[in-house]
Amino acid sequence: MPQMALKRIRLAYIAAAWLTFAFVIFRAFFVRQEGLSDYLFATALAVFVTMACVADAAVLGRPIAFEVRFPFAMTWPAALPIYLLRSRGWWGLAVLAAILGAVIGTAISCAIIGVAAELLM
């Protein structure tokens, strides 16, 4: 598969993970009660993050074994920083800081939107 196609696949998984996270945060502040869909979105987020790392490893030329994907999906909050450090070295910390900044920014903006929407209702 060409490198450009792998990069597009990686970007698509990253965008899907970010949109899933944004929807979960917005829903949490807007609905304020747990539902069965929370499990669905948590699973979807784990799968999207895992597949983004699989696509990233393919772009770097070091594919992740198929057997590792399920344990990675189960432990993705701990496995993601480990993967970034192993694949990129110390630059992985910069990527992780960018991811955390985007996550915190998304959580704050979705919380503000959710509170504003609740006040307008």
23-52 confidence digits (pLDDT tens): 888 777 777 777 777 888 888 989 999 999
Q: Which has the minimum average pLDDT: 30-34, 75-79, 116-120? A: 30-34
Residues 6+ away with beta carbon under 8 Å from 53? 64, 72, 79, 80, 83
Domain residues for the domain of 48 are 3-120
Number of domains in the chain: 1
DSSP string over 17-55: HHHHHHHHHHHHHHH-S--THHHHHHHHHHHHHHHHHHH
pLDDT band for 91, please (50, 70, 90 cuts): very high
pTM listed for this prediction = 0.81
Predicted confidence at residue 12, as pLDDT, reads: 92
Location of structure tokens 């307008």: 120
**Residue of higher predicted confidence among 84 and 31:** 84
